[in-house]
Amino acid sequence: MKKKHVAVLLGGFSSERPVSLSSGKACADALETEGYQVTRVDVSRDVGSVLAELKPDVAFNALHGPFGEDGTIQGILEYLAIPYTHSGVLASALAMNKEQAKKVAKAAGIPVAESKVVNRFAVKDAHPMKPPYVVKPVNEGSSFGVVIVHEGQSHPPQVIGSTEWQYGETVMVERYIHGRELTCAVMGDVALGVCEIIPTGHSFYDYDSKYVPGGSKHEIPAKISPNIYQKIQT
């Protein structure tokens, strides 16, 4: 029986390239262990031509960030008629854009934090809302560019309006809500267990908490009331 040929898409050219290289390697190694024929594809702008020539049976999308999670690579794969893992074009495009994702959540009756979307230079010299609040790029992941502005700070961090900023011109300013980090994955139509993510040595679940060994611990099932547990799953 012929082995299925899986193209693992990894790397890419977003800010999250290092993360994608790591997770892509882990996925490729696991697929090879399970007996699949695997080709690792370090994604560049000509990925469409590469995949058209490669003709894999399926693409495993291990890309992170813009191009990989925003509907772009999904659209390329749809055009090439290559089956692929994870969400489709529309779901990816909506989920990667924080402004649009919040609109969808709000329309579904899910409470969302007060927020506004502004040009980053509007945050440079004056508070766009009363602290505490969070500034985050609209289209980035892995907590890149996330800044929490606390009560008592006289002005927002200058980096947001500086040449050092690499995360786009549009930012979301969101009311800061102190609480616990809870997450629940969905596979198909099934909600899996609720997990609590607890950063260790960090004030919030930032990049280092996510990817540096020991940066956080994960408790599953989360130690919350059955009522809240069920509410998260539904």
Claim to verify: residue 163 and residue 216 sit in the same structural domain: no
Predicted TM-score (pTM) of this structure: 0.84
Could you tell me the CATH number of the domain that includes residue 114?
3.30.1490
Reported as a single tens digit per residue, the pLDDT across 1-55 is: 788 999 999 999 998 999 999 999 999 999 999 999 999 999 999 999 999 999 9
Give the pLDDT score at 112: 95
pLDDT band at 115 (very low <50, low <70, confident <90, very high): very high
Claim to verify: residue 82 and residue 39 sit in the same structural domain: yes
Give the pLDDT score at 21: 96
> If you ran DSSP here, which 8-state letter would residue 196 be given?
E
Claim to verify: residue 111 and residue 160 sit in the same structural domain: yes
Claim to verify: residue 160 and residue 189 sit in the same structural domain: no
Sheet harboring 147-149: ordered strands across? Answer: 115-119, 170-175, 133-137, 147-149
Claim to verify: residue 164 and residue 217 sit in the same structural domain: no
Domain region containing 112? 98-175
Reported as a single tens digit per residue, the pLDDT across 184-226 is: 999 889 999 999 999 998 889 988 899 888 999 999 999 999 9
Which is nearest to 86 in space by CA: 143, 35, 23?
A: 23
Claim to verify: residue 127 and residue 60 sit in the same structural domain: no
Reported as a single tens digit per residue, the pLDDT across 41-93 is: 999 999 999 999 999 999 999 999 999 999 999 999 999 999 999 999 999 99
Claim to verify: residue 12 and residue 92 sit in the same structural domain: yes
Q: Which residue has the tokens 């090879």?
A: 32
Rounded CA gap, 22 and 39, in Å? 15
Structural domain count of the chain: 3
Reported as a single tens digit per residue, the pLDDT across 121-172 is: 988 888 999 999 999 999 988 898 999 999 988 888 888 888 888 888 999 9
Tell me the DSSP string of 31-94: HHHTT-EEEEEE--TTHHHHHHHH--SEEEE---STTTSSSHHHHHHHHHT--BSS--HHHHHH
Q: Where among 36, 70, 96 does a domain terminate?
A: 96
Structure tokens at 137: 């790029």
Give the pLDDT score at 87: 93
Claim to verify: residue 92 and residue 125 sit in the same structural domain: no
Rounded CA gap, 62 and 43, in Å? 10
Claim to verify: residue 9 and residue 92 sit in the same structural domain: yes
**Which amino acid, residue 78?**
E
